[in-house]
Each structure stands twice: as structure tokens, then as C-alpha cells.
Structure 1
Amino acid sequence: MTADRRTVLRSAAQLAALTAAGGLISACGSGAPRRTDPGALAVHPGNVDPSHTTDPAWNGGEGPASAPPTAPPEPQPTADPAAATPPPAPPVLPPLAPGTPAEVVYGPRTGKNVALTFHGSGDPKLATALLEIAEQHGAKLTVMVVGSWLDQQPQMARRILDGGHELGNHTQNHLNISAMTPDQARAEIAQCADRLQKLTGSIGRWFRPSAAQYATPMVREQAKAVGYEHVLSFDVDPRDYSDPTAAELQRRVLGSVRGGSVVALHMGHQCTVDALPAILDGFAKTGLKPVTASQLCA
């Protein structure tokens, strides 16, 4: 036998011995070496005799053979976040002085209190800026909100009250309420009242008619039917809705206001934001104090 023949036979014998001992060593990918059998078949249910498995739950690769079906879990009741949230506490208002009229145009002329009232609508950034200026000066405002504005900006209701200001009802859609039928007028008032009640826990004390300085007898009657004993009018109208310059608006307000005045302003106008610091400084120089309408009439 030649040397090459003996070498081939010795290699074949070593290969057979390694296979019988458990397989060749193979390093696949980046994991640790694993033992493989080049001649073995892939594991498949059809390649394995169930009687030879040591796993009693083996079922041809299809899961446990005799495990009972699992019943679906009983549905648990879920908490209703709305039910868990307590209704907002209504704001505390001072009692009105005896003899406060059904429609307030101005307050006591003998004092130094004045009421800055605002039509609540428009850009919430402008509204927030007005509130911040008032708070920096220690002034309290009365915001007569439009209900449709609260539908779009519900967070403003709490923002106004949390600043120590007062909220009132200025109808749902700010239409000409004096030209409506009694049922239409009542609906306009009631819808805004519902928004206030939901957001603040109260409909507010004051109602102001839309598109009118004074309430007609019909409007007063419908407001009272909704729950408003008092209508809030005004005696100073600087017409900031016409967007005058800040200096002109300041002149109009300071030239007309006096003790007891109720001033009608609007939240959605930049000129009002720009003029308010100077208006409040002017009040301070003459001893006038901006308070809420309820404080004015207390």
C-alpha cells in the first residue's frame, strides 16, 4: 500500500470517528460555535416520531395536544373620566347692594371704583395679553363672553376666573337680539348660559344684550327667564372696535370715565391691548380703581 493510499484511509477513518462522536464544529455568523451534522434533516413534524419525544405537550409542532381552551378574560368596567371629574366650583361673588336696578348702566358716583367690561371674543392671544396687563396693574375686569367663542376657546373661561376677573353672558352668537322673537332671544341667552355653567359651575350674574347698549323689555324678560336678574349696560363707549390708535383710545377713555363708570371695551383688538397700560396708569393718577361689575355694585 502506498503512502498516499494510507493517508487517504486514515483521513476517512478520522472523519467517521468525529461524526459518530457528535458532529463537526461550525462557526456560523457572529455567534458561538455550534455542532452541526451535515447529513441531518431539518426538524419538521413529519420527520419526528411522536413516540420518541420527551415533551408530553408536543403535538407535531402545532402546540399542546390536550391543553383545554383558555376562556377569554371577563371584560372589566372602565371608569368614565367625565364621571370621575367633579363639576367646577362656581365663583364666589359679593352680594349686590340693596336697590341694585334690573339694568345697571353705572355704579355709585360717590366712589372711585370703575368697571372695565370686555366683549369676550377674538384672538385668545390678545385676550390673554389684556388679562396679563390688568393683573400686572392689580385691575379686575368683567368679561361678557360670547358663547360661540367659548365653544372654540373653552380654556379661556377658567383663565379669566383664575385671574380674579368676572364672567358674564353676551349671548351665544352676538346677533341683533332686539330684533329676535322672544323664543329666539331666550335661546341665544340660554345657550351661552349653558356654556358658562358647564365650564365654570355658574351661569354668571350679568347678562348684556348683543348689538345694543340697552336691553328692551322683551330681552330683559327673556334674560330673567334664563336666570339673570340683572342686565349690565355701560355709560362709556370709546368704540375700540373701530381700531383707533392706542393714544386716541386712551384719550377717549380717560376723557369720559369717572367714579362709578362702566366702560365697554373689546378683547379682539390690538389697539386695546396697546392702550390698556396707559389707561390703567391714568386711573391710578386720578385715584380710580378698576374692579369687577359685582364689586362695583356691592
Structure 2
Amino acid sequence: MARVTTTNRRDALRAGAGLVAGGALAAGCGTGPTTAAARSTAPRTTPGSAAPQTTPGSAVRSSGKASPTTRPAPAPRAYPGQPAQITHGPRTHPRVALTFHGQGDPALAHTLLTTAERHGAHLTVLAVGTWLDEHPDIARRILDGGHDLGNHTQRHISVNDLPEADARKEITDCADRLNRLTGSIGTWFRPSRAATASALVAALARRAGYPHVLSYDVDSLDYTRPGAAAVTRKVLSEVREGSVVSLHFGYEDTVAALPDVLTELGRRKLRAVTTTELLS
């Protein structure tokens, strides 16, 4: 009788070990890219509904959608004394903001974020909504690295040229994505395919909850693919205290240029900070 009990206990232990191993494999598979089928069956939340609470550090649900931590992302705020469309910060402090249009290969985005963090720098990322749909974990990665995250419209089309209803939808759809992923609509809004917003788009952004439109005073022109050396020269020849620099995820030239840009900024005693810190 005792022999049977021991055998049963041994079998149960083996079965339990198998379940643990199977669970570990399932968890490992869950960290990879989510298929379209999985995304289509994932539960949706309505805009403005409370975000589900999770434990800190949890980034992606089994459905593949990033879920907010218990502390939501910072919300937009008004900066008294700043214009409705901000092109730069105070010229009296040794700080600059490197702002990135968020779309393209997420591997390049991760490399740029990591490079910035190794240099003690923080970025501002204006994300495209469809990019967040395809790579939902990137929103929390940006925020967990101490960077700003904002709205660059849903589809990255020429928002200034759209009818009012369509322009509003471009802004609010991206805001809804950000809110669902982070608990906030994001800290900043930047129009797509334009350095500044039209009067209509600026008004629609305010109604959506963004007190300011974030423009820039230094354009790296990295999207023209001029080569890393040209991107570096363009930025460093124009940047100064308070500058807001326009850059892009998704370009190898930008990845190659960023270490040199950050090194030279450091030599000039210019700190690369989030736009929120630049204006604080």
C-alpha cells in the first residue's frame, strides 16, 4: 500500500513539473509579436473608460496590448507665458529637447531610447496611433525610460489639409490609443506632415485636451536620409539653449548620429531633457 502511495506521489510531482514547464513556455511565447487574429479578439475599452489596474512592471497582456501600470502617464498641462504653438523653451537654461516622430521599425526605436538613457538623456516621442496599434508595448517602454510620450495623429497624414471632422478624428483617435495604453492622452500634440498646426487644428487639439502644439526650431532633416554625419552637423550647427529638435524614429542615419549628437551636447554643457522638463 505504501509503495502505491509513493508511486502516486512521484507521478503527481512529475505531472506538476510538466505543468510548470508548459506554463513557462507559454509565458515566453506571450512576449513575442501578437498576431492579427489575437489582436482582433483582444478585449477593447471605450474611450474615457477607466484603465485596468495592473501591478507595476507589467507591460503587455496575453492579448498583446500594453496595459498601464497603476500610475497613469502624465497628462497635458498648460504653461502660462508660453504661446499656443511652442517652438522652443527658455534661452536662459542649458537644456534642449530632442523630439522624435514615433513610427517605423520598433527595433530602431528601442536602440535610440537605450542610447539616450546610456547618455543620461531623455527624449520626447510624438507617436503615430497606427504605430501604437502595431506595437502596443512601445508606449510603456517609452514612459518607463523616463521619456515624454505624445500624440502625432492617428495615421500621419497631412492633418492641416483635412476637413474639420476628419482632422478631429485624427487627433482624438490617437489620443484614445494613448489613453488606453497609458491612462493619459499624452503630454504633447504635434501635427503630422507640418511644422506648425493650422488655426483649425490647433483649436481641435485644445478641445481634445492639449493646451499647446509642440513645434520645433531645429529640423534635423533626418527623414531625407542625408547620412549620419549630415544629421549630426545640421543639429549641432543650429542647436542652442532652449532648442526643440525634430528627429525621427525609423531611420538608420538617426541611430548612427545620436551618440555623436549627445556627446557634443554634453561637451557644450547642454542637457537633453524631455520637453516637459525644458519648460518647467
TM-score interval for Structure 1 and Structure 2 normalised by the shorter chain: 0.7 to 0.9
The alignment partner of 2:219 has SS state of coil
| 2:153 is equivalent to residue 171 of structure 1 | yes
CA RMSD of aligned residues (A): 2.0
Question: Which residue of the other structure, out of 219, 238, 246, is the alignment partner of 1:237?
Answer: 219
Give, as a single letter, the amino acid of the residue that structure 2 aligns with 1:205: T
**Larger % of helix: which?**
2
| 2:53 is equivalent to residue 86 of structure 1 | yes
TM-score of the pair, normalised by structure 2: 0.75
| Max Rg structure | 1
TM-score of the pair, normalised by structure 1: 0.70
Question: Which residue of the other structure, out of 145, 164, 179, is the alignment partner of 1:197?
Answer: 179
| Change in CA separation of 1:84 and 1:229 when aligned onto 2, cut-off 3 Å | closer
Question: Which residue of the other structure, out of 64, 80, 84, is the alignment partner of 1:102?
Answer: 84
Structure 1 residue 281 displacement after superposition = 0.3
Please tell me whether the aligned partners of residues 74 and 186 of structure 2 are also in contact (alpha carbons under 8 angstroms): no
| Separation in structure 2 between the aligned mates of residue 254 and residue 109 of structure 1, nearest angstrom | 16
| 2:229 is equivalent to residue 247 of structure 1 | yes
Alpha-carbon displacement from aligned partner over 1:100-134 (angstroms, at most 9, x marks no partner): 22111000011111000000000000000000000
Q: How many residues of Structure 1 are paired with residues of Structure 2 in the alignment? A: 219
Structure 1 residue 93 displacement after superposition = 6.8
Structure 2 unmatched ranges of 5 or more: 1-42, 55-67
Question: Which residue of the other structure, out of 266, 271, 274, is the alignment partner of 1:284?
Answer: 266
Alignment of 1:1-298 (within 5 A): 85-86=52-53, 88=68, 89-92=71-74, 97-298=79-280
Structure 1 unmatched ranges of 5 or more: 1-79
| Change in CA separation of 1:221 and 1:243 when aligned onto 2, cut-off 3 Å | same
Give, as a single letter, the amino acid of the residue that structure 1 aligns with 2:160: S
The alignment partner of 2:96 has SS state of strand
Please tell me whether the aligned partners of residues 76 and 187 of structure 2 are also in contact (alpha carbons under 8 angstroms): no
Give, as a single letter, the amino acid of the residue that structure 1 aligns with 2:180: K
Give, as a single letter, the amino acid of the residue that structure 2 aligns with 1:143: V
Task: Among all aligned residue pairs of Structure 1 and Structure 2, give the percentage whose two residues are the same amino acid.
Answer: 54
